[in-house]
Structure 1
Amino acid sequence: MTEPGPAAWPAAPIRTERLVLRQSEARDRAALVELFASPEVGTYIGGARPRDELERTMPEVPGRRPGFFVVDLDGAVIGIVTFDRRDPERPGPSRPDAGEAWLGYLLLPEAWGRGYAAEACAAALGWFAGAFPGEQVALCTQTANDRAMRLAAKLGFTEVERFEAYGAEQWFGVRSPVTPSGRVRAAVS
């Protein structure tokens, strides 16, 4: 998050049944280069980035910022989960009054199909709800990405709109915050 608000950062590691979500460290750099250079990972996000460019430009400690979690499985990095405020210059729905954080996640292909994305995102959303009570979270993905569409529904995101960007149809949804009573507040659209 560019403006962490009431949340302390770095967040304490978040432990799930199989994973640890934690702040990035220098030892994670090689795995993150691999993640961003993977053609499979890049399929729905505009393509892989050139490995030589990543090696040259990625900081020694990549992703060292509020809202950036490394997903660790048994001591090995398998992906990331992030929360970012949307850049107004980026293509997407025009919601100037919303200001919600956008959930993003990427996992290495060898980690796909095992439920790690759902586990990591659910844990990160739990952290976010505690750190930023009452705030909505948004998610955007290509409609062609069946796995991401299923995960969005599983995590409780509701479609707000579809739009064209980057040469493909995009899906935009929000997840309403949970109130202290445990009820989900209505989405603002």
Structure 2
Amino acid sequence: MAELGPVAWPPDPIRTERLLLRGAAARDRPAFVELLTSPEVNTYLGGPRARAEVERDLPAVPEQWPGSFVVERDGAMIGQVLLRRHDRHRPAAVGKIDLGYLFLPRAWGHGYATEACAAVLDWVDHALGEPVVLATQTANVASMRLAGKLGFAEVERFRAWDADQWLGLRPPSGLAGDV
């Protein structure tokens, strides 16, 4: 995994109409445990991890690294949006910023993922001005729909991890340097 880029981290919190996107804090640990151990959340990500393993291995303040945004609603963590730059991936994705997201099942169906990911993509446009890729299983209908809403266009389909995968690309808006 390569560095995200020349940005100060964590950035100022990002506020949307209903959400706050910010760096992780110790109070988020129970929600991270829930995210990582939830069968529903991990259906298309290789399955949930064992709760005892996660409880043992997760640091007091989880996911403190450039590109990890906690998504908060009404003072509580409901999900995470992740930005990573892959140095090993599909050839069309190498070196590009990859968008990922995890939301607790109770937050599904309210448009929070769309709102949070759009805000993070806007931040990328302003801070880095680079294209972003998104990979998901084709069977993950909700994620495929979200990719379309966010402006990702299909680059390729491929087979990996015993499942059909989709890779989309979203070009930059050309706003780098405005943040």
TM-score, normalisation: structure 1: 0.89
1:144 aligns with 2:139: yes
1:51 aligns with 2:47: no
Identical amino acids, percent of aligned pairs: 58
Stretches (4+) displaced over 3 A: none
1:112 partnered with 2:112: no
Match of residue 81 from structure 1: 81
2:171 maps to amino acid: S
The match for 2:117 is 121
Cα deviation 1:35-93 (Å, max 9, x = unaligned): 110000010111011111000001111010111000000011000000001251xxx52
Deviation at 1:5, TM superposition (A): 3.0
C-alpha distance in 2, partners of 1:22/1:29? 14
Q: Is the CA contact 1:2–1:66 (under 8 Å) kept in the aligned structure 2? A: no
Q: Structure 1, unaligned stretches of length 5 or more?
A: 181-189
Aligned-partner Cα distance in 2 for 1:44–1:5? 28
1:20 aligned residue: 20
* d(CA) in 1 for partners of 2:112, 2:99: 15
SS in 1 for 2:53: helix
Letter paired with 1:12:
D
CA distances 1:103-145 after superposition (whole Å, capped 9, x unpaired): 0000000100000000000001111111102x11000000001
Gaps of 5+ in 2: none
Is the 1:93–1:163 contact (alpha carbons within 8 Å) kept by the matching residues of 2? no
1:93 is matched with 90
- Count of matched residue positions in the alignment of Structure 1 and Structure 2: 175
Question: What is the SS of the residue equivalent to 1:43?
Answer: coil
User: What is the CA distance between 1:179 and its match in structure 2?
Assistant: 2.2
Instruction: Please tell me the root mean square deviation across aligned C-alpha atoms, in Å.
Output: 1.4
Partner of 1:169: 164
Specify the code of the residue in structure 1 equivalent to 2:107: A
